[in-house]
Amino acid sequence: MKSAQHLISSTDSRISTRARTKNTPSNDFVSLAETKALMAGSLAMRQQRLDAGDMVSTDEAAQMTGTTRVTMNAWIDSGRAIGLTRIKRGFRLPKWQFDAPMWDTLPRLTKALGTNEGWAVLTFLETPHPGLDGATPRQAIERGMQDRAVTLAGAESS
């Protein structure tokens, strides 16, 4: 049987939580203004990355690889290629992914990460990793350390 003190304490806790949420913001959550600022910053960063000089359209990527836009979209859907979603319809793709050894490693990498979502894959590839002595997985792959980058991707997804 619960003690009267426990019931009072529990009720007081719920009341104070309700009062706090109505009157004072909790330190446990980001405010609406902070959330809007973070999202706006994220959107600006994504747009900047989409506009970078190493990005190409789906049509340009198809032309580079001697295929069609339909095939390129299928490759993006299957994790064979990195396609970054845009606010408008379509994708932007980093053109360096079509160079060996990156092109040969991408299917293994997306499988190890457990995702083919373009932004997630790109973020993994372009973020310095302590397991690579501060290099990015992309740099490691370009230096011939494909297996090590894929192993780290598997560890990241676990």
- Write the pLDDT tens digit of every residue in 31-47: 777 766 666 567 888 88
Positions of the chain with pLDDT lower than 50, given as ranges: 1-22
Q: Which residues have CB under 8 Å from 99's CB, separation 6+?
A: none
Q: Under a CB-based contact definition with an 8 Å cutoff, are residues 124 and 79 in contact?
A: no
Q: What is the rounded distance in angstroms from the CA atom of residue 73 to the CA atom of residue 89?
A: 12
Strand order of the β-sheet with 55-57 is 55-57, 91-94, 84-85
pLDDT at residue 32, rounded to an integer: 74
- Model confidence, pTM: 0.73
pLDDT at residue 9, rounded to an integer: 43
